[in-house]
Amino acid sequence: MIELIGVSKKYGRKTVLRNLSLTVEKGHITCLIGINGAGKSTLLKAIMGLTPISGGEIRIDGRPIDRNLYERVAFVPDTLAMPPSMSVAGSLRFMADYYRSWNPARASKLMDFFRLNPSDRISSLSKGNAAKLNLLLGLSLDTDYLLMDEPFSGIDLFNREQIASVFTSDLIEDRGVLLTTHEIADIEHLIDKAVLLDRGEVRRAFWCDEIRLNEGKSVIDVMREVYQA
């Protein structure tokens, strides 16, 4: 379980995360929802040790963040984090070189599924293909947790469907997934838990099935209640 306990983050005088606590459980898809500037990306970066926190504590399976974290938690940022001059095959080799948790068979399967050309240069990839490669690099690590920052941002309908299909596949099963998205309508049926963020605070966190069964509301209904109240 990923645990955030009273996490705060400030950029100068601006508070981006305010005493924020939440958990991400294995085997579930948790979605961070919030408008731009709500602190979603900062939260993911803080979990990955890519930005220091000003207060609180982050634990992965009860342990604080260390370099071994990167073999247990994969992060798919909102940009493809590979040099533009590298080829698609080169980026796979790079990952295989550094990560013990790299699963080449899964990478190869995903290359076929996403129809990516190994010889293409990263700089020449379309936005959709760059997003697919980005996802492939994260999914091909045998990690317990997967964090994704806006995996559907700026992607056309068909590519979005292809990426969304990954969430119902065995590629995600048993992992704890934490993702941020603006396109909640596309994946509402896929997520298990929603966390609504506003100005760095958790306004509401709930299990989607429970809210549907007990209150007959969709995630979007709850968002309306929270953000338009």
Partner 1 sequence: MNGYLKLTLFELNRFWKIYAALIGVTLISQAGGFVYHLRNYMNSVHRQMAVRGFRNYSEYREAFRGGDSFHSFVSFAEPWFSGPVVLCAAAMMVYVLFIWYRDWLGKNTFIYRLLMLPTERLNLFWAKLTAIMAFVLGLIAFQIVLLPVHLWLFRQIIPPELGISENIFDFVRNHRLLQILIPSTFPEFLVSYGIGLTSVTVAFACVLIERSFRLKGVFGAILYAAACGTALLAPNFSDRLYPLEAFWLRLGIGVVLLAVSIALSWLLLKRKITV
Question: Least distance from C-beta 115 to partner 1, angstroms?
Answer: 21
Question: Least distance from C-beta 74 to partner 1, angstroms?
Answer: 9
Q: Which amino acid is at 7?
A: V
**Distance in angstroms (rounded) separating the CA atoms of residues 199 and 203:** 9
Residue 116 CB partners (closer than 8 Å, separation 6+) = 88, 129, 132, 133, 136
Cβ closest to partner 1, residue 49 vs residue 56: 49
Instruction: Give the Cβ contact number of residue 229 at 10 Å.
Output: 6
Tokens encoding 172: 């995600």
Cβ closest to partner 1, residue 20 vs residue 137: 137
Question: Least distance from C-beta 214 to partner 1, angstroms?
Answer: 39
Question: Least distance from C-beta 53 to partner 1, angstroms?
Answer: 10
Question: Over the range 129-163, which residues count as b (16 or more CB within 10 Å of their CB) and which as e?
Answer: bbbbbbbbbbbbbebbbbbbbbbbeebeeebbebb
Cβ closest to partner 1, residue 21 vs residue 123: 123
Cβ closest to partner 1, residue 71 vs residue 186: 71
Cβ closest to partner 1, residue 30 vs residue 143: 143
Question: Least distance from C-beta 174 to partner 1, angstroms?
Answer: 21
DSSP secondary structure code for residue 152 in this structure: T
- Give residues in contact with partner 1 (CB under 8 A): 45, 48-52, 67-68, 70-71, 75, 77, 79-84, 94, 97-100, 122-123
- DSSP β-bridge partners for residue 145: 73, 176
